[in-house]
Amino acid sequence: MKITNIQKVTELGRGLKALVLISFLALAPSYFSQGEGLFKAKCATCHAVFKNGTGPKLYEARQRWDDAGEGDLIYEWVRNNGALRASGKSQRANEIFQEYKGSVMSIFADLTDDQITSIFDWVDAQDPNAQAAGAGVQASAANGVEMEEDKGLPWLWIILGVMFIIIIMAVGGVRRQLKIATKESEEGQEGLTYVEEFKTWAWKYRLYVGLVSLVVVLSLLVGFFQTLYGVNLMEEYQPSQPIAFPHDVHAGVNGIDCKYCHNSVTKSKSAGLPTVNVCMNCHKKINGEGKEYQGEINKIYAAAGWDPTKGPSGEYTNEISPIVWNKVHNLPDHVYFNHSQHVVVGGLDCKQCHGDMAKLKETAKVQPRAALNKIQENIDSKIEFDRATLTMGWCIQCHEQSGISITDGKNNYYTEIHDRLKKNDYDLLNAYNEDGRVSVKELGGWECSKCHY
Amino acid sequence: MDGNVQNVIIKTNLLLKEYGMASKNKYWKGMDELQETQSFQASKSVEFPEQNNLESILADDELNEASTGRRDFLKFLGFSVAAATVAACEAPVIKAVPYVMKPENVIPGMPTWYASTYYDGSSYASILVKTREARPIFIKGNKDFGITNGSVTPQVIASVLGLYDSERLQSPLKSGKATKWSTLDKEVKSSLKTAKNVVLISNTVISPSVLSSIDSMAASIDGDFDHIQYDPISYSAIRRANELNYGKSMIASYDFSKAKTIVSVGADFLSTWLMPTEFASQYGETRNPDAAWMSKHFQFESVMSVTGSNADYRAMTKPSEEEAVLNYILSKLNGTSSPLTKALKTTADLAITALKSSGKESLVVCGSNNTGLQQLVNEINNKLDVNGTTIDLYNELNLFKSEDGKMLDLVDAMSKGKAPDVVLVYNSNPVYSLPNGLEFAKGLKAVKTTVSMNAHADETGVLCKYAAPVHHALESWMDFRPKTKHYALAQPMITPIHNTASVIESFLVWSGTTLRPGKSSTVAYDKVKETFSELSSGDFDLAVHNSCTDIAPSTIEETLVFNNAAISKTPGFNKGLEIVAYQKTAIRSGEFSNNPWLHELPDPITKATWDNYITMNPVEMSKAGYATTFDQENGLSMASITSNGIKYKLPVYPSPGQALGTVGVALGYGRGGNGEKIGKAAYQTKEYGGHVTDAKGNPKPIGENAFKLLTAVSRELSYANSAKITKVEGEYIIAATQIHHTVMGRHSIVRETTKGIYDAKGKESYNPAHTLQTLDADANHVEKPVGEFDLWDAHPVENIGHRWGMTIDLSSCIGCSNCLVACQSENNVPVVGKDEVRRGREMHWLRIDRYFASDQEAAVGTRKDKDTFSYSEAEIAALNPKVVHMPMMCQHCNHAPCETVCPVAATTHSNEGLNQMTYNRCIGTRYCANNCPYKVRRFNWFNYPAYKKFTEINPAQDDLGRMVLNPDVTVRTRGVMEKCSFCVQRIQSTKLEAKKDGVPVADGKFATACSDVCPTNAIVVGDWNDIESKVRKSSEDKRSYQALEEVGVKPNVWYKVKVRNEENDLLAKLQVEKKAHH
C-alpha cells in the first residue's frame, strides 16, 4: 500500500523536526555523548536518572556527596565502593550501603576521573521536566502511525462501486419505463422483462459490454490477490501478555540497554526473552510505586519464588513457576532467522526492525513499516520499507537496500570474499559496485537457502 | 508440525517438566489437550478439521440431485477457498517460556556439545553429543580423544532416539504395576538379606564404579553371591584360547592400521566383530592407494558381510571349512601341508604368499566362537610374529567377558529345580538371546525374587517381579575401562526424563550404603569421582571435558609367552546345509530392534529394510526353484528352516556371494512376540497403520529369533549350526531400496582399478576423461573433454565467494552406513515404514548404492568384452562377486536438470554452488525428480508426522519421540520435494561463525553430517574455491571423476576411483593407456 501525498507532507514535517534535533545533538560537546554511552552501558541497569531503584538515582548525586562533605570520594566510590567502605574514610559510603540493604554495587576499576565526570555531567544536564513532556509527544506520534494505516481503502471502493451500480440501475429503470411507455403507445406490445431487455441491450453494445466485463473481471482478480497479500500480516500484532511490561520505562526512562535483557541476541539466532533471574537483578529492590505496578512486579516475584515479606529483605522460597509469555514476532516455521547475524555481523540496531521500543508504552507489538521508516538509522542507511513488517518482501527489501563494506578490512571474512572477486572476476565486482555499494543481495542475500532449509 | 513451533512447544514442555508444573508425565500441545476438552477429544483422531471440508459438502444428496453439479462444484470451490483464506487470517498465539534460572552454559538457539562415552554391552565409542536447549539431538564420534578415533556405528548415532522412546519404563514396577522406589528398595533389600544365594546376570560390565558398587552389594549379602556376565554375542573362545596359549584369559588389542596383510576367517571386523569402532578407521588408513603401502585383505566367509564386501580377495567358505582354511594356512607357514578344497586353495595360497611377504606386519583373525579355531589363529599369528606390531597383548580389551559356560550351568541348575533365591538382571535379556532361553524363563518362575534393571519390560523383564529401570546412557554418570590402559567417562546431557535410577545408585542402595535422594541424586557422580581418584591422579574436570584419560596399569606387567597347547575340540557339522546366524549392521543382536531409524537403514549388502530373511546364493536358489528376483508387487519364496529342533518359516533372499551349501539368518529379530512392550517400531505394521496382531491380539514381531536355532559347542555359544531347509508355499514381499544388483558395465558411474594398474599406468587408463568430437579451427575432427561443451552459460560459482564441494573416495568407503543414519538424524528425515519403502518411497537423502560385479565385467563397471557384452547377463551378479559401495546423494549440479524444469522456481541454484530446495515454494509437480539423472530427489507422499499409517514407526508422531528433531531444519509437509541440502544449516552456521569472528572460513570448519561420522574419512567436504582446501586438492586428484560426467550436468560432487589391491589380468588388459575414450 502506498503512502498518500498528505502523509508524505506530514512525514516531511516530522523529518524536519528530527533534522533540527540531530543538528542540536551534533553541536553538543562530545563528552556529553560519552557520558550518555557510559551511563547506559555501566550504570543504567541499576541506576535511574531521576528515580531510586536498585541503586539511588544519579541526578545530582555529586551534589549530595558534596553536601555530605565528601565530594572527592565519589570517584573512589564509583570505582571500588567496597574498598572505600572498608577504608572507613567515608561516612556516606556506609550510609548508602545501609540504605540499600546491603546490595553491593559492582566494581568499575577501569573508569577514569574524566569518564566519571562525564557521566555525572550528562546526568545532571538532563531536565527533570522534559521527561514527562517527551512521553506525551511520543504517544501522539504513536497514534499518528495508527491513523496512517489506510484500512478504509477497500471499503471506499466497495461503497463507490455500490453507488455506481445504484445510479446505473436508477438511470436504466427510468429509461425502461420511458421505453415501455413509447412501445406500448406504438404497438401495444407486452414489455420485455429486465433480463430479456438486458440481453438485447448487451448484444447491441457487445463490444463495450465485453470490454467493460474484461476490465471488471481483471480488477476483481487483482483486488482478490491484493487482498490475499494482506492476509495474515503481522503488522501491529500485539498479543496480550501475562505481565504488562512497559518497554518505555525500562529501555526509555531507565535507559537499560536492550542487550541486557535480550542477552543472547549477539550469540544466538534467538534474541532470548529475559530469564526471571535477570528481572530479579533489579526487581529484588524495585517493587514499584502504586498498586498497579506492584501487582505486575509481584507476578515476577511469584515466578521467581521470591517472598519480599520474609526475612530482613526478602527470601527465595524455591517455589518457582516460569512466566508464559505470548510470542510477538512470529516467523513462519520454514524461515530461519538469526539475530546474531544481523546484530553482530550486519551491525544493525534493534530499533531498525523492532522500532523504538524505548517509546512504546504498551506491551510489545510488531511495529508497522511506517514507524520503522522513521528510525534514524534506517533513514541514514537509505532503507525505506514499503512491504509489511515481518513479510518476506520486507526482509528482502532490506537485503537489497543495505550494503556490506567488504573493502574496509575490518572483517577478514569479507576481505577474503573481496580478494576472490578482485582476483577472479573483476567485472563482476565492478557490476556489484555500480551503485556505489555491494548489497547483501549481491553476496547471496536473496538466495532461497539463506533463510529456508 | 514444523521445527520452530515445535521447538517452543518442546521448550515449554521441558521447562514445565523441569520445574514441576506438569505433575503427570504427560506432554500436551495446547490448553485443549491439557484440559482434555470435549472438542479436543473429538478432534484428536481426525487429521484434518471437518470445517470447510469440500467432500462433505459435495457428498450432500440434494446436491447430487441438482442438475447443475459442475457449477455448484465451482461455487463450493470458491467458497472453500474463501473460507480457507478467512480461516488463515487468525494468527495463532504462540507461547514463549523463558527459564526461571538459566543454566550458564545454555544459550537458547545455540547447540551445546558434550564429550561422553557410549557403551551398550557390545559397541563402545567416544562420542560428542549435540544438545539444544538441554535436549540431546545428535551423536557423532569424538575425533580428538579416546581410543575409537572418532568412529561410531549406526547404533551409536541412532541411540539418541532411544532416549525419547516412550516405551522405556517410566518408573519402578512391582508385579507389572508402578510403585515407589522406597517400596521397591525395602522389599529388594529384605529379600537380599534373607536369600541363601543371589545371582546377578548382566552383560559385560566395564565400569569400575558399577563393579565396585556390585562388590559393595555382594559384601552386604549374607548368602552366596554370583555375578554372571553374559553377552548375546560371545567372544569367550578368544579368551579361552589365550588362556591356553598365553596363560591369561584375555582379548588383546588389534591394530589393523599396521597390517599389510589382513586375513579374516569369518570375522566381520568392520561392522560387527569385537570393536568395529576401532577397526574401521584403522582399516581405512591402510586403504589409501597413494600411501607408502596399501593393505591386502583376504576374507573367508559364508554370508557376505560388510567386511567381505571390501576384501581384495573373498572366498566363499562354509563354517565347517573354516578349520581347514586355518589349518592349511598354518601348515603352509610351517612348511607342511594340509587338505583343502580346490576353490579355497587358490585364495588361501595367495593369502599365504602375502602373509609370508608381510611377516610380522600381518594380522589373522577369526570370527568363530570356538576355542580350537581361535587357538589355530593364535598359532598362525605367533608364527608370523605379529605380537608387538598388530597385536598388543599388554593392552587388553575389557569388553566381551561373556561366561557362556556359567550361564548355561545356571540354566541347567534352574531347570533341575536348584534355582537361586534372588536373580537380578541388568542390561541382559537371556530369555530372548539364549538358545535355551525358554528353559531359563521356566526356571525364573521358580525364583523367589526376581529383579530386572533393564530399561524396557522386555522378554526377561516381564518375567521379573520387580523392575528397577536404569537411566538411559545420556541421562547418567558412568565410567568405563574399555582397555587396561584407558579410562573413560560418560556424563549426563539431560535431567532424567522418567522416574528411573542410575544403576550405580541402585546397587549402592541395595547394599545399604546410601539412600535414594531422588532426581537431584549425586550418588552416581560421587561414586564415579571416587573411582576416578583411585585410578588416576589427574584432574577430574579435565577428564570429563575430554571424556577420557589414559591410565598407567596398576600392576607390573607379566611377560606373556606363547605356549603350544593341544587344539581344543572344533565344531562338528552334519553333512548338508549349514546355517550361519549373523549380525546385521543395523540391528546387531537385537538391543535396537525397537529403533525405526535402524530398521529402515538398508542392509549394506542386501539393501533390504524392516525384515529378517534367509540369505542364499541365487545360483542355488534357482536350482531349488526359489524366486531369485522380486519387486514391489512380487515377493520372494518362503522356506521352512529347521535347526536345533526349531522350525521357522522365512522368505529366502538372493544374496550373491553366499557360500554354497550355507544359508544365513540375521540375529536380533523376532523380539517381543508375547505382548512385551519393547517399542512400537519392533512389530509388523498394517498397510494403513496399526500393528499386525496374532490370535491373542499381541503385535507380531518382525522376523524370527535366530538365537533359538543355535546351540552351544563345548559350553561355548556357537553362531553356526547344521540345518534343513524346504521350500514351502507362499510368497513374501520384501522392501528393499535397491533390487538391481549390478551397475551393468556402466563405467561412467563406478570406476575401479587395481593397485598394480594404478601404480604403473597413467590416469587415462583407469580414469579416462569423457570426450566428444568437435571441429577445430582447421576443420579437423578433434576430441575434447565433455566439460568444454555447454548448453548453458556457466553458472558463476567458480573462484567467486564459496563453492561447496564434496569428494567421496570409493577406495575408503566401506559401506558402514553411518552417513545414512547421521543424515537422517541431522535432517529430520522421516521414517516411512516397510510398505512405503516397498513402493520405492523411502525418504533417505543419502543412499548407498551397492553394486555387485557380473560375469560380464572384469571389475564393477568395466565390460569384459565389448563385443560379446550381454545386458541380460550383465544383470546377474557373479557367484562370488566383487562389491563396490557408492554413497549417492544430491550432486548439486551447476547445470542442474531439476532446476530447469521446476515451474515455480522452488529449486534454484545458489552462488555457492548449492542446488537449493525451497519447500514452501514447491507445489509437488515432481518434474524435478523425473529429470534428475541421479534419482536422489524424494517426494513427501504423506504427512508423515501426522498420518495414522506412520504412527507406530515415525518418532515424530510421538510427543516424546519428536524431541529428537533438529530445530534448525524444517519438518517437511506433504506434497513437497526434498533432497540432500549439503547440510546447508551447517554451511550457514559455519559462515556465520566466521563472519562473527571476522576470519575467512577455515578449511575443515564445515562438515556435513555424513562426513562428520565417516570412520574412514572417505567423504571430504569444504569450500572448493579455497585452493588450499582438502576438497579442492582431492577433486583434482588423478583418481577423481564425476558420476555420469557425460551428461554434462557439472556436479559439485566428485568420486574417486576404487583401487582394489588384487591381481586382475583381464582388467589390466582392458585398462590400457589410450589417447581418447568415447
Q: Which residues of A touch B912 (CB under 8 A)?
A: 444, 447
Q: Are residues A116 and A186 in the same domain?
A: no
Asked if B222 and B331 sit in the same domain, the reply is no
Q: Is the pLDDT of residue B315 over 90?
A: yes
Return the DSSP state at A165: H
Is the pLDDT reported for residue B616 higher than 90? yes
Q: What is the pLDDT of residue B431?
A: 93
The shortest C-alpha distance from B93 to chain A (Å) reads: 7
pLDDT digits (tens, 9 = 90+) for B410-439: 999 999 988 899 999 999 999 999 999 999
Last residue of a domain, which of B736, B766, B790? B736
Q: Is residue B965 part of a domain?
A: no
Q: Is A112 a domain residue?
A: yes
Q: How many angstroms separate the CA of residue A412 from the nearest CA in chain B? A: 5
Residues B870 and B1014 grouped into a single domain: yes
Asked if A420 lies within 8 A of B801 by C-beta distance, the reply is yes
User: For residue B6, what pLDDT band results from cuts at 50, 70 and 90?
Assistant: very low
Using CB atoms, which residue from A413, A423, A425 is nearest to B994?
A413
Per-residue pLDDT, B82: 61
Query: Last residue of some domain: B374, B396, B418?
Result: B396
Domain span at residue B345?
A: 236-396
Residue A104 reports pLDDT greater than 90: no
**In this complex, do B93 and A417 lie within 8 Å of one another by their Cβ atoms?**
no
Q: Strands B486-490, B548-550: parallel, antiparallel or unpaired by DSSP?
A: antiparallel
For the cut 50, the answer to whether the pLDDT of residue A26 exceeds it is no
CB-CB contact of B892 with B915 (8 Å): yes
Chain B residues within an 8 Å CB radius of A411: 995, 998
CATH of the domain at B222: 3.40.50.740
Does one domain contain both B908 and B1034? yes
Among A324, A328, A448, most B C-beta atoms within 10 A, so best to mutate, is A448
B975 is written with which cell numbers? Answer: 506434497
Contact A340 B984 (CB under 8 A): no
SS3 category, B988? helix
Q: CA–CA separation, B316 vs B826, rounded Å?
A: 38
- Same domain for A117 and A167, yes or no, is no
Instruction: Tell whether A118 and A171 lie within a shared domain.
Output: no
Bridge partner list, B888: B847
pLDDT score of A75: 83
Say yes or no: B883 and B807 in one domain. yes
pLDDT of A27 > 60? The answer is no
Are A117 and A169 within one domain? Answer: no
* Percent of chain A whose predicted confidence (pLDDT) is above 90: 19
Radius of gyration (C-alpha) of chain B in whole angstroms: 30
Q: How distant, in Å, are the alpha carbons of A271, B5, B650 from that of B94?
A: 16, 8, 51
Which amino acid is located at A216 in the chain? V
Final residue belonging to a domain, choices A94, A128, A162: A128
* Domain-located, residue A380: yes
The domain boundary, picked from A128, A162, A189, lies at: A128
Q: Look at the block and give the residue holding cell 550510609.
A: A95
pLDDT at B16: 39
Nearest CA in chain B to A326: B95
CATH number at residue A46: 1.10.760.10
Answer whether residue B974 is part of any domain: no
Nearest in space to B16 (alpha carbons), one of A324, A296, A273: A324
Last residue of a domain, one of B736, B769, B803: B736
Number of separate domains in chain A = 3
Sign of the Cα pseudo-torsion (B289, B292, B298, B303, in order): negative
Pairing of strands B548-550, B578-582: unpaired
Could you say which of B98, B910, B995 has the minimum Cβ distance to residue A322? Answer: B98
- Looking at the fold, whether A205 and A99 belong to one and the same domain comes out as no
DSSP code of residue B235: -
Q: Based on the domain organization, do B264 and B193 belong to the same domain? A: no
Q: Is B21 on the interface with A (CB under 8 A)?
A: yes
Verify whether the Cβ–Cβ distance A327 to B95 is below 8 Å: yes
Q: Is residue B841 part of a domain?
A: yes
pLDDT in tens, B833-858: 999 999 999 999 999 999 999 988 88
Distance from CA of A152 to the nearest CA of B (A): 18
Measured between CA atoms, the residue of chain A closest to residue B985 is A453
The answer to whether the CB atoms of A326 and B920 lie below 8 A apart is: no
Mean pLDDT of A94-112: 76
What are the strands of the beta sheet with B1053-1056, ordered from one edge? B1019-1023, B804-809, B1053-1056, B1040-1041
Window 1023-1052 of B, Cβ < 8 Å to A: 1025
State yes or no: pLDDT of B694 exceeds 50: yes
Mean pLDDT of the B535-539 span: 89
Asked whether residue A390 is assigned to any structural domain, the reply reads: yes
Interfacial B residues in 866-925 facing A (CB < 8 Å): 908, 910-912, 914, 916-921
- Residue of B93, B110, B799 lying closest to A267 (CB–CB): B110
**Closest CA of chain B from A8, distance in Å:** 30
Give the model's confidence band at B783: pLDDT under 50 very low, under 70 low, under 90 confident, else very high. confident
List the single residue in B8, B97, B798 with the smallest CB-CB distance to A322: B97
- The whole-angstrom separation of Cα B941 and Cα B841 is 8
Assess if residue B504 is contained within a domain. Answer: yes
The CATH number covering residue B257 comes to 3.40.228.10
% of chain A beyond a pLDDT of 70: 84
User: pLDDT higher for B675 or B275?
Assistant: B275
- B975 to chain A: which residues are within 8 Å by CB? none
Instruction: Say which DSSP state A413 is in.
Output: H
| B800–A425 C-beta distance less than 8 A | yes
Nearest CA in chain A to B5: A333
**Contact criterion met (CB < 8 Å) for A327 and B94:** yes
Based on the domain organization, do B439 and B343 belong to the same domain? no
* Residue that finishes a domain, picked among A213, A229, A245: A229
More confident residue, A98 or A405: A405
What is d(CA B270, CA B283) in angstroms, rounded to the nearest whole number?
Answer: 8
Which B residues, 673 through 692, put their C-beta within 8 Å of a C-beta on chain A? none
pLDDT digits (tens, 9 = 90+) for A240-293: 899 988 898 888 888 889 999 999 999 999 998 999 989 988 888 887 777 888
> Residue B21: what pLDDT?
38
Total count of residues recorded for chain B: 1078
Check: CB of residue B1058 under 8 Å from CB of residue B1071.
no
Q: Establish if B108 touches chain A: CB-CB under 8 angstroms.
A: yes
Residues A87 and A182 in one domain: no
Interface touch B100/A333, C-beta < 8 Å? no
Interface residue B975 vs chain A (CB under 8 A): no
User: Least CB-CB distance to A323: which of B98, B110, B920?
Assistant: B98
Indicate whether A1 pLDDT > 70: no
Cβ-based contacts of B107 with chain A (< 8 Å):
264, 267-268, 272
Locate A123 and state its grid cell: 546526568
Does some domain include residue B296?
yes
Instruction: Read off the DSSP letter of residue B247.
Output: S
State which residues form the domain around A219: 153-229
**Does the beta-carbon distance from B984 to A453 stay under 8 Å?**
yes
Give the percent of chain B with pLDDT over 90.
Answer: 70
Q: Annotate A285-311 with b (16+ C-beta within 10 A) or e (fewer).
A: bbeeeeeeeeebbbebbbbbbbebeee
pLDDT of residue B712: 87
User: Taking a C-beta distance cutoff of 8 angstroms, is the pair B272, B583 a contact?
Assistant: yes
Q: How many domains does chain B have?
A: 4
Q: Which of A275, A334, A448 sits opposite B916 (nearest CB)?
A: A448
**B258 belongs to a structural domain:** yes
Whether B1059 contacts B295, CB under 8 Å: no
Q: How far B514 CA sits from the closest chain A CA (Å)?
A: 26
In a domain, B536, yes or no: no
Buried b (16+ CB within 10 A) or exposed e, A34-65: bbbebbbebbbbbbbbebebbbbebbbbbebb
pLDDT in tens, B952-987: 999 889 889 889 999 999 999 999 999 999 999 999
Smallest Cα–Cα separation from B962: which of B831, B842, B844, B834? B831
CB-CB under 8 Å, A325 with B96 = yes
Report the chain A residue with the minimal C-alpha distance to residue B920: A334
Same-domain check for residues A79 and A173? no
Q: Is the dihedral of CA B543, B547, B550, B553 positive or negative?
A: positive
B779 in the same domain as B654:
no
CB distance B800–A333 less than 8 Å? no
Instruction: Please give the pLDDT value at position B261.
Output: 95
Question: Domain check: are B378 and B260 in the same one?
Answer: yes
* B248 lies in the same domain as B319: yes
Q: Do B100 and A322 touch (CB under 8 A)?
A: yes
**Residue B287 and residue B219 share a domain:** no
B246, B303: one domain: yes
Mean of the per-residue pLDDT values of chain A? 80
Q: What integer pLDDT is reported at residue A21 of this predicted model?
A: 47
3-state secondary structure of B288: coil
pLDDT at B780: 85
Amino acid type, A343: V
Residue B472 has pLDDT above 90, yes or no: yes
- Report residue B276's pLDDT band, with 50, 70 and 90 as the boundaries: very high
Q: In this complex, is the C-beta atom of B15 within 8 Å of any C-beta atom belonging to chain A?
A: yes
CB contact (8 A) between residue A428 and residue B796: yes
B163-179 pLDDT per residue, tens: 999 899 999 999 999 99
pLDDT bucket at A17, cuts 50 / 70 / 90 = low
Q: Give the pLDDT confidence of B347-368 residue by residue, as tens digits.
A: 999 999 999 999 999 999 999 9
Alpha helix stretches (DSSP H) within B906-1008: 927-931, 984-997
Q: How close does chain A come to B150, measured CA to CA in Å?
A: 28
Give me B507's grid cell.
Answer: 546397587
Residues of B in contact with A415 (CB under 8 A): 1000
Cβ within 8 Å of residue A411, ≥6 positions away: A345, B995, B998
Check residue A6 and give its pLDDT.
47
Pairing, β B124-132 against β B111-119 = antiparallel
- CB proximity under 8 Å: B 427-456 to A: none
CB contact under 8 A, A412 and B101: no
Surface of B (984-1013) touching A: CB under 8 A: 984-985, 988, 991-992, 994-1001
Section B65-82 average pLDDT: 58
Does position B553 have pLDDT exceeding 90, yes or no?
no
Instruction: Name the phi and psi angles at B411, rounded to 5.
Output: -60, -45
- Answer whether residue B890 shows pLDDT above 90: yes
Does A296 reside within a domain? no
B841: which 3 cell numbers?
Answer: 518411497
Of the residues A241, A281, A321, A334, the best mutation for testing chain B's interface (the one with the most B CB atoms within 10 Å of its CB) is A334
